[in-house]
Amino acid sequence: MDVSVIGSGYVGTTLAACLADLGHDVVAVDIDEDIVTRLNEGEAPIHEPGLQPLLDAYTGSRLRATTDYDAVPETDLTFVTVQTPSREDGSIDISAVEAACRDVGESIAEKDEYHLVVVKSTVIPGMTEEVLAPAIEAASGKTEGEGFGLAVNPEFQAQGSAVQDFMEPDKLVLGTDGDDRALDLLANCYEPLVVDWDPPVVETGRREAAMIKYANNVFLASKISLINELGNVCKEYGVDSYEVADAMGLDDRIGAAFLRSGAGWGGSCFPKDTAALMAAARERDYEPELLGQVVAVNDRQPLRMIELLERHVDPSGERIAVLGAAFKPGTDDTRGTRSRPAIEGLLERGATPVLYDPTEAAASLASEFDGVEVADSAADALEDASGAIVMTDWPEFSELDAAFDAMADPVVVDGRRIIARREGLMYEGLTW
Ligand SMILES: NC(=O)c1ccc[n+]([C@@H]2O[C@H](COP(=O)([O-])OP(=O)(O)OC[C@H]3O[C@@H](n4cnc5c(N)ncnc54)[C@H](O)[C@@H]3O)[C@@H](O)[C@H]2O)c1
Ligand SMILES: O=c1ccn([C@@H]2O[C@H](COP(=O)(O)OP(=O)(O)O[C@H]3O[C@H](CO)[C@@H](O)[C@H](O)[C@H]3O)[C@@H](O)[C@H]2O)c(=O)[nH]1
């Protein structure tokens, strides 16, 4: 099939490369000329394992990029994957999705055949029907369901495993409200993947599809906040919460995944999607009490780390190593990282945070503050530090050993249960 993908960020680039791998001819459309140039040179605009080999294999053959929406009508269907950032009140700003849909609409105005538009960006239920459909109708002069179709097909890939998550998904969610033409095109597009991997395919309404995405993410965020709450209580009673979580995970009704307690959840999606669902609930006069607490527990975890540090050292005027800036290992993304509130807490106490991350994330996060030093290695960050807080579970942190001996005061607060050495340290696990 011929497929266009609007937006070449985390989701769009992975989607475009994976669709090419499934055998489709793919054109990626982005308004950012730099991204388009890099893609056409076969260079991944984002850091994602497994992506570069796909670009190497398909750039210039089954995969090309452009800033020009004229490529859209030559394709059978268009995925929209542009960003949906948070507004001040937590609700999402869908202006970029709306603008993309308008441009898609304009581009298909002269097209004779039916064209399918698929919303992959995360949007609140109803927005597709109430905002995006009218935008495409106005720009194309066509009627939804006749000249074009509009489906919702949320994406569940996680950063760092996006290619594998796309190729081996737990489920495909196709929200079409029973539009046969839309369903047929989407089913054809995913057919090679279904043949290879055979995931459950959920055919549902567009509102349900949109809600499934939010429900998935807030459930996972809640699961982490609950295990963090339990972990905090475990710590007070001298109970090893990881042993508790491992045993809980053996119960099929609970499941072992997402039970690692610690510094909390960050990233580009959990914070944004939790806030968006809460704002959407309030919009309909429903106060989402539980979600409020899920966020409150998450906000508290980095500050609890500093309180634990303060049990052993007064951070005022001291160098404190901060290990990890990315929101999780395997990425250089600092969106929603728990290191940010931890750094704020240290600065408020008059400490000098010395930040290390194996990626560019350290320089990028440090540039948001005055008074944060960036170290070239974990050992450099630890040297002469009067304490250390471990924010990201980068595997290299588990191997740290002699570097701790160079600390002025070997106080280590581990927010991810990643430090193997305990001997000779004043070691505090956050939830154990
Ligand atoms: N990042 C993830 O892992 C992930 C996973 C699942 C779902 N999502 C959702 O997918 C959506 C996209 O997220 P992302 O992280 O890929 O965003 P991103 O910011 O990385 O990428 C968005 C891209 O869209 C481009 N763009 C903006 N307006 C455009 C327009 N009018 N025409 C063409 N291109 C345009 C931007 O230049 C950018 O390259 C969001 O709704 C997000 O919640 C993200
Ligand atoms: O047991 C756990 C698991 C995760 N985390 C933290 O949770 C956050 C999110 O992790 P993860 O879900 O692996 O990363 P994302 O790339 O943000 O992926 C989530 O957000 C995406 C965007 O919506 C979805 O598509 C994915 O399904 C969903 O997992 C990170 O800060 C992790 O450190 C924990 O604290 N404990």
Q: What is the mean pLDDT of the chain?
A: 97
Q: Which residue has the higher pLDDT, 46 or 190?
A: 190
For residue 61, the Cα-to-chain-centroid distance in whole angstroms is 29
Ligand nearest to the CA of 270: 2
Q: What pLDDT score does 115 carry?
A: 98
Give the torsion sign (CA, 208, 211, 217, 219).
negative
Q: What pLDDT score does 320 carry?
A: 98
Q: What pLDDT score does 428 carry?
A: 97
Structure tokens at 92: 């999402």
Rounded to whole angstroms, how far apart are CA atoms 2 and 305? 51
Residues belonging to the binding site are: 30, 84, 122, 213, 258-262, 266, 272, 328, 335
Q: What pLDDT score does 47 carry?
A: 83
Q: What count of residues does the chain have? A: 432
Rounded to whole angstroms, how far apart are CA atoms 61 and 95? 32
Percentage of the chain modeled with pLDDT above 70: 100
Residue ranges of domains in the chain, CATH in brackets: 2-204 (3.40.50.720), 214-298 (1.10.1040.10), 300-429 (3.40.50.720)
Q: What pLDDT score does 46 carry?
A: 86
Expressed in angstroms and rounded, the spacing between residue 264 Cα and the centre of ligand 2 is: 10
3-state SS string for the chain = CEEEEECCCHHHHHHHHHHHHCCCEEEEECCCHHHHHHHHCCCCCCCCCCHHHHHHHHECCCEEEECCHHHHHHCCEEEECCCCCECCCCCECCHHHHHHHHHHHHHCCCCCCCEEEEECCCCCCCHHHHHHHHHHHHHHCCCECCCEEEEECCCCCCCCCHHHHHHCCCCEEEECCCCHHHHHHHHHHHHHHHHHHCCCEEEECHHHHHHHHHHHHHHHHHHHHHHHHHHHHHHHCCCCHHHHHHHHHCCCCCCCCCCCCCCCCCCCCHHHHHHHHHHHHHHCCCCCHHHHHHHHHHHHHHHHHHHHHHCCCCCCCCEEEEECCCCCCCCCCCCCCCHHHHHHHHHHCCCEEEEECCCCHHHHHHCCCCCCEECCCHHHHHCCCCEEEECCCCHHHHCCCHHHHHCCCCEEEECCCCCCCCCCCEEEECCC
What is the mean predicted confidence (pLDDT) over 7-19? 97
- pTM of model > 0.90: yes
Ligand nearest to the CA of 249: 2
Does residue 152 surpass a pLDDT of 90?
A: yes
pLDDT in tens, 375-411: 999 999 999 999 999 999 999 999 999 999 999 999 9
Ligand 1 atom 5: residue of nearest CA? 157
Does residue 365 contact residue 339 with C-beta atoms inside 8 Å? Answer: yes
Ligand 1 atom 38: residue of nearest CA? 9
Ligand 2 atom 3: residue of nearest CA? 258
pLDDT in tens, 343-380: 999 999 999 999 999 999 999 999 999 999 999 999 99
Radius of gyration for the alpha carbons in the chain, expressed in angstroms and rounded: 23
| Residue-wise burial string across 66-89, b where 16 or more C-beta atoms lie within 10 A, e elsewhere | beebebbbebbbbbbbbbbebeee
Is 234 known to be catalytic? no
What is the mean predicted confidence (pLDDT) over 7-15? 97
Does residue 429 contact residue 414 with C-beta atoms inside 8 Å? Answer: yes
Rounded to whole angstroms, how far apart are CA atoms 117 and 195? 23
Does residue 63 surpass a pLDDT of 90?
A: yes
Instruction: Choose among 327, 340, 304: nearest CA to 232.
Output: 304
Instruction: Choose among 195, 426, 200, 183: nearest CA to 313.
Output: 426
**Cα→Cα distances 8→85, 250, 361, 431, Å:** 16, 39, 21, 39
Q: What pLDDT score does 76 carry?
A: 97
The amino acid at residue 156 is F
User: Closest ligand 1 atom to the C-alpha of 162?
Assistant: 3
Region for 424 from its dihedrals, namely left if φ exceeds 0, alpha if ψ lies in -120 to 50, beta otherwise: left
What is the mean predicted confidence (pLDDT) over 161-179? 97
Does residue 18 surpass a pLDDT of 90?
A: yes
User: Closest ligand 1 atom to the C-alpha of 32?
Assistant: 37
Rounded to whole angstroms, how far apart are CA atoms 158 and 317? 39
Expressed in angstroms and rounded, the spacing between residue 412 Cα and the centre of ligand 2 is: 25
Rounded to whole angstroms, how far apart are CA atoms 65 and 280? 35
Expressed in angstroms and rounded, the spacing between residue 117 Cα and the centre of ligand 2 is: 28
The amino acid at residue 268 is S
pLDDT in tens, 280-311: 999 999 999 999 999 999 999 999 999 999 99
Q: What pLDDT score does 327 carry?
A: 97
Rounded to whole angstroms, how far apart are CA atoms 5 and 19? 10
pLDDT in tens, 92-125: 999 999 999 999 999 999 999 999 999 999 999 9
**Cα→Cα distances 282→88, 123, 127, Å:** 14, 16, 16
